[in-house]
């Protein structure tokens, strides 16, 4: 006998989608949005009252590092179970993470291994992968043609960290050329690794070892230069570029210039650059300052204001988290100077509410929050409108946000496995009340529900793909 349809009617809320803001009910049937409008309950509907609340598309986080290994052996604090729990609790129902192939490992093999590991851990949200390339040669570049068939439509290069993961300008330019042919999006970590290395050496020679020197040795010009170079090379290759984690006004200005010049360039900033600033590191005790070390570093309050404004005016396209948590003692902080502190912060759980604080302060309207936190990352990922929006036929990924309640961030209550929070004690307007992944409640009344993770790998369309053809999720053999 066929199972009865799973039906939910979310009623009485204010629906926010790419089509605008309106009082509307939404019906989910079997994991998809079946109807939107003034809807009467029908037999079999589970009723969810969203009165006084916003109903948003589930968040799409374009930049997370869950269960990732850095510097050869240091693993981020979250596995896919805890990392996806943190995402879900924070209203994010899709994450695009990273597959990092070994030096001589074929991309297809690396991706199969990555997928098997993620599936085994039972994530609560749907997921995809960008593939990281390190100084790719011609053999590796030839393999890029396989990526679209494997459900991957983006690659990432680092212009920082020479000797570890950096790619030089030839590798970057050749990748851009290949990506342009294949319709792949190229992500860059834009900082000038060589210049930073010199500044670090000079600081250490002068005896500067404290965490604040992580920031002093990565000034905004090292970021702006890399943005300028990457955007110019992308233009030359006629490729589409995405600059991850923009942190400074100077770098943003380079991005704006490239766009005004006609470049197909997209920009992301991350929640921490909007609320953390360099004063948290300067003069602070080592143990405290280390909590805020990330690359690029937290900047000034003026930079923050520019980033908020750019999210509002379209100068930036995406608000991501760059969730990259390290256990504070023994992983994030080890003995030695500032270069030994792991770069990266947790944030997947706080991203959406930090973004919502911009709505509360009047920086941008709530429909713009849906663009930067859901719709645009879904478009860039090649999963829109299945993800990132609520329209008939979309996956029933939704968030009920209660604007009347405030949330206080704390490591005591968050769902990540990491043992600290750079946002400890911060209070923001709004509360993530309910979250649905393909129609199934994963958060109800602010509480994460126990249950089997059935997050699915998302096969993503390339930038040159047919946008009317909805990419299917690969359901594999899992029920
Ligand atoms: Zn990152």
For the cut 70, the answer to whether the pLDDT of residue 289 exceeds it is yes
- 84 CA → ligand 1 middle, Å: 16
Give residue 370's pLDDT.
Answer: 98
- 434 CA → ligand 1 middle, Å: 28
For the cut 80, the answer to whether the pLDDT of residue 26 exceeds it is yes
Give residue 73's pLDDT.
Answer: 85
The percent of the chain in helix, strand and coil, each rounded to the nearest 5, is 35, 25, 45
For the cut 80, the answer to whether the pLDDT of residue 472 exceeds it is no
- 33 CA → ligand 1 middle, Å: 32
Give residue 2's pLDDT.
Answer: 67
Residue 479, domain extent: 1-479
Q: Is pTM, for the whole model, over 0.85? A: yes
- 63 CA → ligand 1 middle, Å: 6
CATH number at residue 230: 3.20.20.140
For the cut 90, the answer to whether the pLDDT of residue 266 exceeds it is yes
- 285 CA → ligand 1 middle, Å: 26
- State the distance between the two ends of the chain, measured CA to CA, in whole angstroms: 17
Would you place residue 290 in the very low, low, confident or very high pLDDT band (cuts 50, 70, 90)?
Answer: very high
- 41 CA → ligand 1 middle, Å: 44
> 404: part of which helix (H) or strand (E)?
strand 398-408
Instruction: Find the largest Cα–Cα distance for the chain.
Output: 76
For the cut 80, the answer to whether the pLDDT of residue 189 exceeds it is yes
- 269 CA → ligand 1 middle, Å: 11
Would you place residue 1 in the very low, low, confident or very high pLDDT band (cuts 50, 70, 90)?
Answer: low
Q: pLDDT of 73-97, one tens digit each?
A: 889 999 999 999 999 999 999 999 9
- Cα distance between residue 200 and residue 221, in whole Å: 15
Rounded to 10 deg, the angle between the 220-237 and 249-260 helix axes is 20
Give the pair of three-digit tokens for residue 32: 């998809």
- Domain count of the chain? 1
Q: Are strands 398-408 and 46-49 parallel, antiparallel or unpaired?
A: unpaired
Lowest-confidence range among 123-137, 165-179, 442-456?
A: 442-456
- Cα distance between residue 338 and residue 421, in whole Å: 19
Concatenating the DSSP letter of every residue in 62-99 gives: S-B-TT-EETTTEEPS--HHHHHHHHHHTTEEEEEEEE
- Does residue 178 sit in helix, strand or coil? helix
DSSP strand E in 291-382: where?
A: 318-320
Q: pLDDT of 352-378, one tens digit each?
A: 999 999 999 999 999 999 999 999 999
For the cut 50, the answer to whether the pLDDT of residue 475 exceeds it is no
For the cut 60, the answer to whether the pLDDT of residue 301 exceeds it is yes
- 245 CA → ligand 1 middle, Å: 7
Q: Return left, alpha or beta for 282; rule: phi > 0 is left, psi -120 to 50 is alpha, else beta.
A: beta
- 9 CA → ligand 1 middle, Å: 37
Give residue 465's pLDDT.
Answer: 56
- 471 CA → ligand 1 middle, Å: 25
- 392 CA → ligand 1 middle, Å: 33
Whole-number average pLDDT of the chain: 95
Q: What is the mean pLDDT of residues 402-421?
A: 97
- 204 CA → ligand 1 middle, Å: 25
Cα-Cα-Cα-Cα torsion 472, 473, 474, 476, nearest 10 degrees, comes to: -120
Give the pair of three-digit tokens for residue 101: 């192939």
- 320 CA → ligand 1 middle, Å: 10
What whole-number percentage of the chain has pLDDT above 90? 90
- 22 CA → ligand 1 middle, Å: 35
Q: pLDDT of 326-360, one tens digit each?
A: 999 888 987 889 999 999 999 999 999 999 999 99
For the cut 80, the answer to whether the pLDDT of residue 477 exceeds it is no
- 79 CA → ligand 1 middle, Å: 16
Give residue 470's pLDDT.
Answer: 44
For the cut 90, the answer to whether the pLDDT of residue 392 exceeds it is yes
Q: pLDDT of 462-471, one tens digit each?
A: 987 544 444 4
- 3 CA → ligand 1 middle, Å: 42
- 64 CA → ligand 1 middle, Å: 6
Q: Which of 24, 63, 44, 12 is nearest to 294 (CA)?
A: 63
- 297 CA → ligand 1 middle, Å: 12
- 449 CA → ligand 1 middle, Å: 28
- Cα distance between residue 316 and residue 273, in whole Å: 13
Q: Return left, alpha or beta for 65; rule: phi > 0 is left, psi -120 to 50 is alpha, else beta.
A: beta
- 322 CA → ligand 1 middle, Å: 5
For the cut 70, the answer to whether the pLDDT of residue 313 exceeds it is yes
Q: pLDDT of 40-51, one tens digit each?
A: 999 999 999 999
- 328 CA → ligand 1 middle, Å: 18
Give residue 452's pLDDT.
Answer: 82
> 197: part of which helix (H) or strand (E)?
helix 193-205
| Structure-model confidence comparison of residues 103 and 473, the more confident one | 103
């Amino acid at each position: 006998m066929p199972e009865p349809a799973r039906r939910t009617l979310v009623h009485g809320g204010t629906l926010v989608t790419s089509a605008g803001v309106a009082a509307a009910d939404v019906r989910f049937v079997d994991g998809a949005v079946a109807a939107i409008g003034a809807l009467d309950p029908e037999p079999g509907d589970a009723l969810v009252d969203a009165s006084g609340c916003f109903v948003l598309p589930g968040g799409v986080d374009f930049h997370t590092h869950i269960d990732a290994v850095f510097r050869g052996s240091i693993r981020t604090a979250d596995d896919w179970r805890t990392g996806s729990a943190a995402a879900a609790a924070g209203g994010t129902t899709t994450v695009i993470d990273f597959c990092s192939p070994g030096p001589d490992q074929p991309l297809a093999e690396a991706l199969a291994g990555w997928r098997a590991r993620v599936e085994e851990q039972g994530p609560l949200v749907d997921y995809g992968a960008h593939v990281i390339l390190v100084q790719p040669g011609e053999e590796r570049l030839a393999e890029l043609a396989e990526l679209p068939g494997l459900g991957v439509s983006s690659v990432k290069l680092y212009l920082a960290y020479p000797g570890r993961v950096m790619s030089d300008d030839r590798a970057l330019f050749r990748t851009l050329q290949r990506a342009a042919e294949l319709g792949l999006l190229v992500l860059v970590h834009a900082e000038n690794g060589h210049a930073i290395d010199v500044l670090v050496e000079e600081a250490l020679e002068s005896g500067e070892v404290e965490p604040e020197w992580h920031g002093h040795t990565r000034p905004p010009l090292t970021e702006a230069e890399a943005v300028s170079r990457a955007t110019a090379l992308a233009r030359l290759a006629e490729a589409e570029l995405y600059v991850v984690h923009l942190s400074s006004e100077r770098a943003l200005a380079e991005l704006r210039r490239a766009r005004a010049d006609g470049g197909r360039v997209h920009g992301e900033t991350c929640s921490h650059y909007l609320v953390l600033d360099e004063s948290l590191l300067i003069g602070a005790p080592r143990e405290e300052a280390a909590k805020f070390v990330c690359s690029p570093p937290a900047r000034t309050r003026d930079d923050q204001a520019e980033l908020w404004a750019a999210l509002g005016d379209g100068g930036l396209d995406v608000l991501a988290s760059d969730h990259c948590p390290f256990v504070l003692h023994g992983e994030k902080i080890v003995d030695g100077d500032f270069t030994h502190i792991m770069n990266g912060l947790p944030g997947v759980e706080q991203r959406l509410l930090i973004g919502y604080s911009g709505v509360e302060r009047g920086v941008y309207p709530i429909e713009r929050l849906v663009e930067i936190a859901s719709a645009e990352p879904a478009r860039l990922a090649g999963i829109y409108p299945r993800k990132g929006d609520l329209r008939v036929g979309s996956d029933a990924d939704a968030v009920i946000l209660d604007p009347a309640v405030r949330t206080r961030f704390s490591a005591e209550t968050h769902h990540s496995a990491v043992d600290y929070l750079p946002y400890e004690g911060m209070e923001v307007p709004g509360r993530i009340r309910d979250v649905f992944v393909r129609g199934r409640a994963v958060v109800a009344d602010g509480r994460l529900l126990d249950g089997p993770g059935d997050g699915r790998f998302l096969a993503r369309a390339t930038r040159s793909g047919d946008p009317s053809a909805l990419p299917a999720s690969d359901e594999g053999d899992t029920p």
